[in-house]
């Protein structure tokens, strides 16, 4: 067992190419979502999140994140102990799924046997991928001590912004982000809420009665930044929707000569915004 090597572990929502995960030696545990009695697995090597969103569009069934479970984390920690007794676990926001709680439950069984540091990224998807990739670089390429790595990663977290709109209120209400009265009134008025992730939780900010006005809110949010390192659009379809392409065009008008990738959002976001959402992940600033 190595006393110097630190194993980096994350969950499947971390948006990072599978080749990059392998290059940096990162273990990624797939997200498992359950709806209608069927399980859907998601990580950077599967595309079952697309099947999940298509299923939600048809059934409107509630979604539950059932994995990685505490047992899944225990198995990974046990296997990792053959190589090293030091682990850094960076996971999607604890407010959005039970994944972080499951990791903490599993880690209790290893107290005294190894050093497991669990970090709440307070974000998801591309945001989590950025943090995990940087941590991997700091650990494996720059070989920084673990406390320094954790400090630098914590410093990146406030520079990551996630904003979104949803064209259905069912899932936001089910996840507890809206009261029953807000959901009923919103449905009656055909509201399209503008949502932000603040301190790791999804917070409704403004409500628009027209979908195009809700899209304006996303563009306005992006235009407030003087420096953007990365901006990624996320949507529900496997291929870019008209709405996502319109958003991309409008962003290109205010930030020419920039790339704005369009990706499909993951099951954890789907549990909160359902199958009819669109949004952006913005990373402000530079690595250091």
Model confidence over 211-229: pLDDT tens digits? 678 899 999 999 999 899 9
- Predicted confidence at residue 214, as pLDDT, reads 86
- Where does 145-247 show beta strands of DSSP type E? 160-166, 192-198, 201-208, 230-235
Domain identity same for 11 and 153? yes
Instruction: State what percent of residues in the chain have pLDDT above 70.
Output: 92
Domain tally for the chain? Answer: 2
Say yes or no: 163 and 153 in one domain.
no
- Strand pairing partners for 163? 196, 280
Q: Say how far residue 37 (Cα) sits from the centre of its chain.
A: 24
pLDDT tens digits along 74-107: 999 999 999 999 999 999 999 999 999 999 999 9
Q: Which helix (H) or strand (E) holds 277?
A: strand 277-283
Q: Which of 135, 157, 179 corresponds to the end of one domain?
A: 157
Domain with 180, as residue range(s), is 159-283
2 domain-assigned: no
User: What is the domain-level CATH number for residue 153?
Assistant: 3.40.50.10170
The pLDDT of residue 185 is 52
Q: How confident is the model at residue 189 (pLDDT cuts 50, 70, 90)?
A: very low
Please identify, among 157, 180, 196, the residue that sits at the C-terminal boundary of a domain: 157
Cα→Cα distances 238→47, 54, 191, Å = 9, 9, 25
Question: ∠ at Cα 233 (196, 240), nearest 5°?
Answer: 135
């Amino acid at each position: 067992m190595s006393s110097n090597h630190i194993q980096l572990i994350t969950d499947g929502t971390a948006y990072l190419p599978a080749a990059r995960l392998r290059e940096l030696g990162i273990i990624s545990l797939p997200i498992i979502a359950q709806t209608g009695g069927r399980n859907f697995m998601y990580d950077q090597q599967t595309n079952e999140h697309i099947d999940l969103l298509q299923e939600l569009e048809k059934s409107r069934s509630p979604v539950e994140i059932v994995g990685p479970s505490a047992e899944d984390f225990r198995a990974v920690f046990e296997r990792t102990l053959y190589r090293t007794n030091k682990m850094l676990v960076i996971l999607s926001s604890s407010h959005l799924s039970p994944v972080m709680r499951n990791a903490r439950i599993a880690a209790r069984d290893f107290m005294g046997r190894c050093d497991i540091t669990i970090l709440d990224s307070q974000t998801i998807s591309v945001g989590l991928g950025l943090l995990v990739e940087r941590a991997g670089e700091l650990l494996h390429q720059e070989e920084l001590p673990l406390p320094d790595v954790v400090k630098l990663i914590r410093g990146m977290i406030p520079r990551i912004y996630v904003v979104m709109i949803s064209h259905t209120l069912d899932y936001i209400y089910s996840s507890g982000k809206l009261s029953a009265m807000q959901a009923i009134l919103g449905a009656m008025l055909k509201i399209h809420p503008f949502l932000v992730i603040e301190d790791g939780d999804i917070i409704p900010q403004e409500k628009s009665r027209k979908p195009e006005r809700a899209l304006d809110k996303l563009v306005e949010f992006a235009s407030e930044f003087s420096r953007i390192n990365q901006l990624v659009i996320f949507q529900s379809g496997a291929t870019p929707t008209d709405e996502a392409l319109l958003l991309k065009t409008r962003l290109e008008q205010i930030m020419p000569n920039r790339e704005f990738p369009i990706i499909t959002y993951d099951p954890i976001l789907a549990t909160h915004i359902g199958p009819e959402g669109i949004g952006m992940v913005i990373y402000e600033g530079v690595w250091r």
